[in-house]
Amino acid sequence: MKTAWEAELAQFLNDLSTVQDETLGVLVKKRDLLVAADTAGLASVNRQEESLLQRLQECLRRREDLLGRAAQEGLPSTSLDSLSRALPRTERNQLGERMQSARSKARLLQHHSLVNWMLVQRTLLHLSQVLEIIATGGRLQPTYGRGGPVAASGSLVDGAA
């Protein structure tokens, strides 16, 4: 029975690793497209992201199924790590390396996702500033008081203003 668990956990970790690797590739590609402002490329990446999301959800479902079956058999079921520690030493060591690799990849995916989020936020901030300049004609609006626009030292949109 222990080897059946080891085989299932190993297969799950292999599948998870494949999805993580593909997700990392998509995040790197997306970052490059964001930097290049390639909207058509971003649309194609969106389809890849949806496919990967479904595969990650399937991995999550499989994880929950494994832990549920482990609980029914009286094995540790709080995490895959705790389940793997219930296996014999040789199997546990092999799975431990794979689990550490999956954790490392998950952390790397978080970092890449954060970088992409930051790129999008900076772009949105830049666009909102450009829209504000266009809307105000380059004139600064007072933060306090009831006076009119503050005299600007120059204007990007209309040099005559």
More confident residue, 15 or 138: 15
Q: Which residues pair with 140 in a beta bridge?
A: 150
Question: What pLDDT, in 10s, does the model give residues 106-117?
Answer: 999 999 999 999
Under the banding of pLDDT at 50, 70 and 90, the label for residue 161 is very low
Amino acid at residue number 53: L
Q: Model pTM?
A: 0.74
Amino acid at residue number 113: S
User: At the topology level of CATH, where does 2-136 sit?
Assistant: Methane Monooxygenase Hydroxylase; Chain G, domain 1 (1.20.58)
Say which residue the tokens 């705790």 belong to: 82
Q: Which residues, other chains included, contact 133 with Cβ-Cβ below 8 Å and sequence gap of 6+? A: 156, 157
